[in-house]
Amino acid sequence: MRPAVWMMMTVLAVTLGGTAQAQTRIFRDDFNGSAGSSPTQWVVETHYQGRGKFGQAGWVTGAGAMDVSVGRYNPEVPGTLRQTSLRTVQTFQPSPGRVLDFRIRARVWGQDQRGIVTAFFLYSQGQRNGAFRSDEADIEWLTNAAANRSDDSILISTWHNWNRDDPHFGVDQHPQFGTQISRLEPAGFDIGGWQTYTIRWGNGVLEFFADQPNGQWRYIGGYYGGQVPTHPMHLFVNAWAPDSSWPQAFDASLQPTSNAAQQAWHGMSVDWIEVVDRAAPN
Ligand SMILES: [Ca+2]
C-alpha cells in the first residue's frame, strides 16, 4: 500500500476575465511512495517495442519522483533492452464544453545518450470503420534532438482513426489511413531541467504547452478540427529505444548487454502527473 498516492477531487474556482471557471483535478500521482508504481492507478505494460521489451515498473525513488527508463541489461530477456511503459487504469475523454489538461513535471536525463525516446501520451485502439485503428496524442522527448544542446526540441503528434494495419505517416484525414501528423517543435529550454508540460484535449482542439518560469503557459503547438482524437484514451508514460526504422530517433551507440554488471539506465524522472478538467477557453 502506498499512502502517498493521491486521487484527489479538488474543486477550485478561478476568476478569468470576470467569469468563474470551475476546474476539477480528476487524477494526480505525486510518486511519493517508496516502491514501484502504484497498481491502483497504473498498469505496467510488457510487450516488445523497438529494440526492447517493456516490463520494468516505474521506480519511485524515495525522493518524490519516479524513474521511467531504459536499461541496457534485461534480466527477463538478456541481450534485449529493458523498457518502461505505464498506462493509467482509467480512460479519459473530454465532456462537451470542457477540456482536459494532462500535465507532467519531468526531467529527461542522459541527454548525452542518443537513441532514447521518453513520452507522455494518450492512446486507444479498436476495430472501427473497417480497420484496426488508433487514436493518440503525444509529447515525445528524443535524446537525438537534445544531446549536447541547450535549445532542445520536443516532438508533438496527433493520431486519429489511424489504420494500424496499413500504416502511413504524415497523412491528414485520409479515408483509409486516417490521420498521423508529427512536428518537432523548439522547446526553448533544456529538457534536462525540471519542466512542466501540458497536453490539452477538447472537442476539436489538441494543444501543447510548457510552463514558463513566470507561471504562464507557453504554446508549443496544436491540432484542430478533424485531426483531433475523439475516442476515450488511457494516459501513458514510457521510455524505449526505437530501431533503425525510425532513423530520427535510433542510435547505434546504445547497445544492450547480457552482463548484469554492466547495467545502465537512461530515461527521465517524473515528479508528478495530473489531469485537470476545466471549461473550454473561449
Ligand atoms: Ca513528486
Segments forming the whole domain that contains residue 144: 10-279
The alpha carbon of 87 and the centre of ligand 1 are apart by a number of angstroms equal to 18
What confidence tens digit (pLDDT) does each residue in 102-118 have? 999 999 997 778 999 99
Average pLDDT of the chain to the nearest whole number? 90
The reply to whether 146 falls in a domain is yes
For the residues 45-51, what does the mean pLDDT come to? 97
The alpha carbon of 1 and the centre of ligand 1 are apart by a number of angstroms equal to 17
The reply to whether 4 falls in a domain is no
pLDDT in the model for residue 63: 85
The alpha carbon of 63 and the centre of ligand 1 are apart by a number of angstroms equal to 8
The alpha carbon of 199 and the centre of ligand 1 are apart by a number of angstroms equal to 19
The reply to whether 122 falls in a domain is yes
The alpha carbon of 164 and the centre of ligand 1 are apart by a number of angstroms equal to 35
pLDDT in the model for residue 21: 61
The reply to whether 137 falls in a domain is yes
Residue 52 belongs to a domain with what CATH number?
2.60.120.200
Residue 181 CB coordination number (10 Å): 16
Q: 153-163 and 131-142: which strand pairing?
A: antiparallel
Considering its fold, how many domains does the chain have in total?
1
212, 218 Cβ separation under 8 angstroms = yes
Percent of the chain with pLDDT over 70: 89
The reply to whether 198 falls in a domain is yes
pLDDT in the model for residue 35: 55
The alpha carbon of 45 and the centre of ligand 1 are apart by a number of angstroms equal to 22
The reply to whether 1 falls in a domain is no
CA angle 43, 48, 52 (to 5 degrees): 105
Percent of the chain with pLDDT over 90: 79
Question: Using 50, 70 and 90 to split pLDDT, how confident is the model at 191?
Answer: very high
The alpha carbon of 269 and the centre of ligand 1 are apart by a number of angstroms equal to 10
Q: Is the pLDDT of residue 262 over 70?
A: yes
Q: Answer yes or no: pTM beyond 0.75.
A: yes
* CA 182 and chain centroid, separation: 14
More confident residue, 146 or 231: 231
**19: CB partners within 8 A, 6+ apart:** none
**124: CB partners within 8 A, 6+ apart:** 91, 134, 135, 136, 229, 231, 232, 233, 234
Q: Is the pLDDT of residue 139 over 60?
A: yes
The alpha carbon of 59 and the centre of ligand 1 are apart by a number of angstroms equal to 12
The reply to whether 2 falls in a domain is no
The alpha carbon of 112 and the centre of ligand 1 are apart by a number of angstroms equal to 25
The reply to whether 247 falls in a domain is yes
Which residue, among 228, 95, 113, 219, has the nearest Cα to 161 in the 3D structure? 228
The alpha carbon of 250 and the centre of ligand 1 are apart by a number of angstroms equal to 30
Tell me the three state secondary structure of residue 226.
helix
Q: What is the CA radius of gyration of the chain?
A: 19
pLDDT in the model for residue 174: 97
